[in-house]
Each structure stands twice: as structure tokens, then as C-alpha cells.
Chains A and B, each alone.
Chain A
Amino acid sequence: MENKNKRLKLILTGLALFITLLHAIPFYILITTALKTRGDFSSRWALPDYFTLENFAIAWEQANLGSAMINSFLITAGAAVILILFGSMAAYPLARKNTKLNKAVLILFVAIMVVPPLTALVPLYQLVVDIGLLNTRTIAVLVNAAAFMPLTIFLYSGFIRSTIPKELEEAARIDGANTLGIFFKIVFPLLKPVTASVLIVACVFIWNDYQFAIFFLQSSDVHTLTVTMDSYFTENQHNLGLVAAAAFIAMLPMAIMFLMLQKYFIAGLASGAVKG
């Protein structure tokens, strides 16, 4: 029995190692490609026998990755502020007051989650042109915030319903606090864990957004990382070393953040899913 268990454990560990290597292949290929100079046609599986970071330096400069990162950052941060503020405020009555109106509003948000913003994109484009917000970071902030609002409200209302004790609010009301005061002074600070989940889940997707960005951010001074990567790839299809280097740089900020905050990433996603 003891021996059999040990052998099973060994097999499972071997399987995990195999899966790890298999999943690491794309990253390995990305790195070998990024490290090779233009004239090097050796197999993608082989590491170069020389060392140069030339591709990274050229890609950073040529593709304007620095300014693209700033744009991506500003848009993500702006949307995050709106989502946290408006999302938590909206979630509060939906979690606490079980009225007919609130039920209808909740259904509206479910419907928006199921029906994708895709169908809305064509008319939305016209609206954006009409109100003069085409090629502004503002419109990317607003559209992304709208797209992730339902998910945010779900995470917040699930958390309020299951975790925040009602007694706290009742005590504050007896002390004469009004609803807004109760919300911002008592409820909001207790929402920190779910705020972290919202930040992590929504920010990853907004940072990586391509569909809205390609529609609404067509002039190069507002290009985000994804749009920049897209045009850089088209220009350099015959020098994939540069593309690989640019891709590597583009994924670095999120990868570093993920590796540092891994625990919270995973806890945030899991709790959102189980409670939502």
C-alpha cells in the first residue's frame, strides 16, 4: 500500500513536469526568437551561441513601446477608478434591498453580460464620432468601464451579501448617518478584498483590450500596447526577432505584476467565481 502510493505520487509528479514543460514551449520559442539576429536562420528550438539584446533595444525604440505603455496604463487606471467607485455604489442597493426595481436592474446587468458589446460596436462607433471622442483616451476609459461594469457589480454584490454584516449599518443609522455616509465610511473600507479582485480581473482584460482600441484609438499618439503590437507585426513580418522582442517587452508589466501578486490574483478569481 505504502509502496503503491509512492509510485503513484512519482507518476503524478512526472505528469506535472511534462505538463509544465509543454505549457512553457511558447515562452521558450519566444525567447529563442527574440535573442537571434536577423541573419540567423537556425532552428527556433536552438538557443543562439552568441548573446545580444539588440532586438529589444531596436523594438523598444522603433515601435514606440514606451508611449504605448503609458497610454495602456492611463486607460486601465481610469477605467479602474470608475469601476470601483460606480460599481461598488451600484452593488450596494442591489445586494441589500430586495425590491422589484432592484431585481429588474440586476436582470438588466445579467443581460448585458450575456449579450456582448460586439453588436453594439458599429453604432457605438458612430456615436463616438458624433460626440467628438474618437481617438481620445477618455472614450477608451468609458467604453472599457461600461463593458466590465456588470462583472464588477456581481463581484461586489456577492461579497456584500455574503460577508458584510447588516448590523454595522443599522448601528450607524441609529447614530444618525445617512446612506451615503454609511456606504463610504463603513461599507466601502470593508470591501478591500473584493476591490483587489476587481482591480486584478478587470485590469488584466482592459490592459489587454484590442477590440475597442482598434475601433476607437486609430491615431498613433493614443495607440495602446495591443494596437502598437499589431502594426509593428505587420511592418516586420520578415524580421520576427524584432516582433518577438516587442512581444516580450509588451507582456513584461503584467507578467511581473502577476508573479508578485500571484496569491491575490488566484484568490480574487476563485472567490469571485464561487460567490458570484
Chain B
Amino acid sequence: MAEITGDPQTGKKPKKYKVSRENSLWWMYIPAIALVTIFIVYPFFNGVRISFTDWDGFSQTSNFIGFDQYVRMFSDPTTWTVVRNTLLYGIGSTILQNALGLGYALLLNSSIRMRTLTRTIIYLPVIISPLVMGYIFYLIFAFQNGALNDAFMLFGFNPVNALGNPSVNPYIIVLVNTYQFVGIAMIIYLAGLQGISKDYYEAANIDGASTWQQFKSITIPLLAPSITINVVLNIIGGLKLFDVIVALTGGGPGNASQSSSTFMYSLYFSRQDAGYAATQGVLIAFIILILSLLALWYFKRKEIEA
């Protein structure tokens, strides 16, 4: 309790900072703030600074070159491949994971046999490292002796080099990412569905509403918070994709399946082009920020309407 009358003996008013300190308890978050400041916030702003230099990643010196790296970035055709892929991974996985995750949740929310087994099998990939998951899918999509081609040949088709085909492999990466993380979307939707009172459906049944009408007017609006969380989580996760790409295609052939993360990694470690890597980093941070704010704003507005 902060005193407001002042000290009765000296008549002095208590110092103001003491009151606000006790009110905000700011010292309790100092360790957490220090950690994220040293390892995320400071390096992030330092990255923005490096994006204006020609730093090679290991020298002690670098030159400030203004917007040169940005000019280079926007005239580099690889930037557009990378941005297109990153958006495909982010938005493609978001759409697939939400559609499938909601479908699975609706199915498993009904009283059928084997619910637990189905849920376990769908969720299991979530806990496996995406890198290892990439190698597991390599066994399926490999050109020679991959499971997919084994099946193709059994039915008399020619084997396909899916991972080496630049117009196919970005979609395979979306598929693998969806397979791996659809379990999270499913669980969040299941929790949402279980929070909806059965009374709404009973009332709707009495009014003669069809299953589709009930889904559209009861289920979807009441699931709005779950939708917001899933969409934002999936967009952020998909745009940051790294491990699966490394395991499945290494970003290739050429730069065909490269995402922002894998491209930055190769610029920094294989090509000693750290300044340019930082510039690409600023671009992707900007894209993620815009997309997740848009998604958040759009779906939050829906929630209020519902």
C-alpha cells in the first residue's frame, strides 16, 4: 500500500519513484528483459545496421555503403524466388494446416471408435525434429529407391525426380511441413470445439437449422479465437521454415526451393556475404511483421463481430 499522506515525523512526502516502483514491480522482469535484449533485440538492431555495410562476416572492418545492398537486393532475381517460396511456405502451410486441422478436429469431436489412436498418430510428428522429419520424407521422395517411386513402378509408371524438380519441390516442402504440424492446429481446434456449449446446437436443431447452417453460424464464429491463434502461429512458423528445406532439398536445385532462412544461411556461411545476408534478414522480418499483424487484425475484428 503506497502512503499518500507523507511521513508523519518529517512531514516529507514520499518520493514518487518509490510508489511507481512498487506499482510496476519492474525489477521482477529484469532477468528476462536482459536475456532477450542481449540475444534478440540488440542483435536485431545491429543486423539492421549491418544491412547498410559490405561486411563479409569475419573481418574486423566493414564499410558503410548506404542503400547499396538494398538496391542489390531488389535487382537480384533470387530475391524474388526466395520471397515467393517463403510466402508459399508460410501461406500454403497456413491454409492446409487450418483446413485439415479443423476437419480432423470435427471428425475426432464426434463419438467414433479409435479416436485416441487417430489423435495420437496425427499429433506424433509434432514432437519429432523437423530435420529428422525431412530425412524420413527423403526416404519417400528420393529418386532412387524412394517409396513413392517404388509404388509408381509397381503400377507401371515412370519414376519421378520430385525433389530435383524446381516446379514441384516447394510444394513437397509445404506438404511435409503440414504433415508435421497439423497436429497442433487439430489440438487447438479440438479444445475450441469442446468449449462450445451443446445448448446452441440443441436450440438450432429445434429451429430446424441444417448441419451446414449450424457449422456456419455457431461453430465457426465461436471458434474465432482458435482460428486467430492457429493462423498467426502457422504464418510465423511457415515463414521461418529452415530445417525441412535443409534436409529435403538443401534449397536447390540452384536456388529453386530456397527460403529466406536457408538463403541467409548460405550467404553468410558459404559466400561470406554477411552484409547482404543481413539485408535479406531485414526484408523477411518486415514481411513477417506485416503478414502477422494483418492476420491478427483481420481475425480479431471477426472475433468482436461474433
Range for the number of chain A residues in contact with chain B:
35 or more
Q: Which 5 A-B pairs have the closest CB atoms?
A: A270-B191, A93-B25, A208-B129, A119-B281, A90-B29
CA gap between A263 and B64 in the complex, in Å: 55
**Do A9 and B23 have beta carbons less than 8 Å apart?**
no
Instruction: Determine which of A33, A121, A208, A269 lies in contact with B264 in the assembled complex, contact meaning CB atoms within 8 Å.
Output: A121
What is the CB-to-nearest-CB distance from B110 to chain A, in angstroms, rounded to a whole number?
Answer: 6
CA gap between A25 and B243 in the complex, in Å: 21
What is the CB-to-nearest-CB distance from B286 to chain A, in angstroms, rounded to a whole number?
Answer: 9
A204: chain B residues within 8 A (beta carbon): 126-127
B65 within 8 A of A: no
What is the CB-to-nearest-CB distance from B246 to chain A, in angstroms, rounded to a whole number?
Answer: 7
**Do B114 and A226 have beta carbons less than 8 Å apart?**
no
Produce 1/0 per residue, A114-148, CB < 8 A to B. 11111111111111000000000000001101110
**Do A153 and B32 have beta carbons less than 8 Å apart?**
yes
B260: chain A residues within 8 A (beta carbon): 118
Main SS of the interface on chain B?
helix
**Do B36 and A150 have beta carbons less than 8 Å apart?**
yes
Instruction: Determine which of A23, A25, A125, A146 lies in contact with B40 in the assembled complex, contact meaning CB atoms within 8 Å.
Output: A146
A150: chain B residues within 8 A (beta carbon): 36
What is the CB-to-nearest-CB distance from A48 to chain B, in angstroms, rounded to a whole number?
Answer: 14
**Do A115 and B129 have beta carbons less than 8 Å apart?**
no
A1 within 8 A of B: no
A13 within 8 A of B: yes
What is the CB-to-nearest-CB distance from A192 to chain B, in angstroms, rounded to a whole number?
Answer: 20
CA gap between A233 and B190 in the complex, in Å: 37
Add 20 more A-B contacts to A26-B179, A85-B31 (CB < 8 A).
Answer: A9-B111, A16-B108, A16-B114, A43-B150, A45-B150, A82-B35, A87-B32, A92-B28, A97-B25, A99-B20, A112-B40, A120-B43, A123-B278, A210-B246, A251-B132, A258-B123, A269-B184, A270-B190, A270-B191, A274-B225
What is the CB-to-nearest-CB distance from A181 to chain B, in angstroms, rounded to a whole number?
Answer: 13
**Do B288 and A114 have beta carbons less than 8 Å apart?**
yes
- Complex interface residues of chain B between 226 and 278 (CB less than 8 A to chain A): 226, 229, 236, 239-240, 242-243, 246-247, 260-261, 264-265, 268, 274, 277-278
What is the CB-to-nearest-CB distance from A173 to chain B, in angstroms, rounded to a whole number?
Answer: 8
**Do B50 and A123 have beta carbons less than 8 Å apart?**
yes
**Do B264 and A44 have beta carbons less than 8 Å apart?**
no
B225: chain A residues within 8 A (beta carbon): 274
Residue of B29, B113, B187 most packed against chain A (CB within 10 A): B29
**Do B129 and A251 have beta carbons less than 8 Å apart?**
yes
B140 within 8 A of A: yes
A168 within 8 A of B: no
